[in-house]
Structure 1
Amino acid sequence: MNEDNKANIITVALIILLIVGGYFGYFYYAKNDNGQVIATQGGEDPGLSSMEIRALLNILEQTELEIELFNDKLFRDLTSGIPLESLPEVESGRPNPFLPLK
């Protein structure tokens, strides 16, 4: 075998190893500690259940906002921080950039 054939065989072997390693690495990292796949099948809703949503809404309903907070001296002394510099004016482009050039 000449040097070109050896280099080609080594290159192909490395590419195959990368593909196989990527395949197994992907499925290894896609599983959690229990060995279950984290991804869900199509059609399953990964969101909150209705009981969890009701519990969160119940907590929100019980939350009371004290209006006196806005009249507090510490709240009134809050500032918005350093003012931002205005951006320099830039020349705009064509009105419709998708029209062909004349």
Structure 2
Amino acid sequence: MMVNENAEEAMRRVLDGFKFFGYSIAHYAVYGEHRPGRTNLWRHFQMIKDEMKQTPGSGSIGQPRSLREHLMRYADVGIDQMIFIPQCGMNKHEHICEALELFAK
């Protein structure tokens, strides 16, 4: 999740982390040849990130209003809990705090 008054800025701040989350899960679950203590997942991700297809689920990135609308669609079908993982990748701590504060308002 990343919100900002400027939707493009929200996307810029979090897109790599959002993609990295999906990449890292797929690495462990599907295609990765993981060597603990040796595999540098971030470096591998940096080499291929621009070739990755658009990841579905980016409705949690944007302006506060769009995030509320996105979450309401889940609530409308009975989902009452969401897990946000804004700390994936190299997202800046201050950007995460700003987003959480803006979301809380």
Same fold (TM over 0.5): no
When Rg is computed on C-alpha atoms for both structures, the one with the higher figure is: 1
**TM-score if structure 1 supplies the norm length?**
0.21
Q: Whose helix fraction is larger, Structure 1's or Structure 2's? A: 2
In the superposition, the TM-score normalised over structure 2's length comes to 0.21
